[in-house]
Chain A
Amino acid sequence: MGAGMGGFVDGILLHQILQWHNMLSGKMPPNNLVDAKVNMYWDGIFHAAVWIMTALGLRLLWGAGAQTDVPWSGRTFFGGLLIGWGLFNVVEGTIDHEILSLHHVYEYTGNHLPADLAFLGFGVLLLLSGWGFIRAGQADSIRLRVS
């Protein structure tokens, strides 16, 4: 679920509102209407995929809620969301930005590396924060179960 929501942050904020990049902007810069619309199509495919990922996450959360060995803690949940978002940034940033060069975080510069590294660094920060929240959530579980 966190990975899906992280995908929506990327798609809605960086693709549509700020328009820093599109899915294929590294290979097909949106310099004319046709290329912009082709990029729009692939952005739509990306959004559909992260929507499915989010829906699947909701289904897994529903299943996890019924299990007795899963702590029902707000901090654990929030930590899980952050870890998912961080994983999205790291995986997507590594594959799409660095390996395949389908696009870069900020296309309007000659040097793409700083923004790409910032995106990856933010992902690592999210992973660490998420892990911290999950660790802290263990205390919530203990209180809930013992009382």
Chain B
Amino acid sequence: MSKLFSLLLVALLTGAHTAGACTVCRPKVQAAIHNQHYAANALLMLLPVLLLIGGGLLLYFSSSFPSLYWKPTLLRPAAPTALR
């Protein structure tokens, strides 16, 4: 039964139209992407991501990073009187 199903599937796929890229419009698309504005477009588009990556790295390697969200003094062992 499974062999019959596989053969049927192959037969259907063989008869199907192949997926084709847009051969007609490709040169126009390439010309519209890789034009004199390419570098400016790329820079503007990636600006928010670059800022976020830069800010994240700056924060991560900053020595004061842990103190922004965590106070080490809270983690000191309780005083002996508090344990009694």
Binding site for B on A (CB under 8 A): 3, 7, 23-24, 28, 33-35, 37-38, 41-42, 45-46, 49-50, 52-53, 56-57, 60, 63-64, 69-71, 76, 84, 87-88, 91-92, 95-96, 100, 102, 134-135, 137-138, 141-142, 145-146
Q: List 10 A-B contacts (CB under 8 A).
A: A34-B25, A37-B29, A45-B45, A46-B45, A49-B49, A50-B49, A91-B52, A100-B44, A134-B69, A135-B69
What is the bound-complex CA distance between A41 and B61, given in angstroms? 34
Contact B53 A142 (CB under 8 A): no
Chain A residues within 8 Å of B52, by CB: 3, 53, 87-88, 91
Partner of A91, one of B28, B51, B66: B51
Q: How many A-B residue pairs have CB under 8 A?
A: 90
Is there an interface contact between A146 and B75, defined as CB atoms closer than 8 Å? yes
What is the CA–CA distance of A3 and B57 in the complex, to the nearest angstrom?
Answer: 13
- B66–A102 touching, CB < 8 Å: no
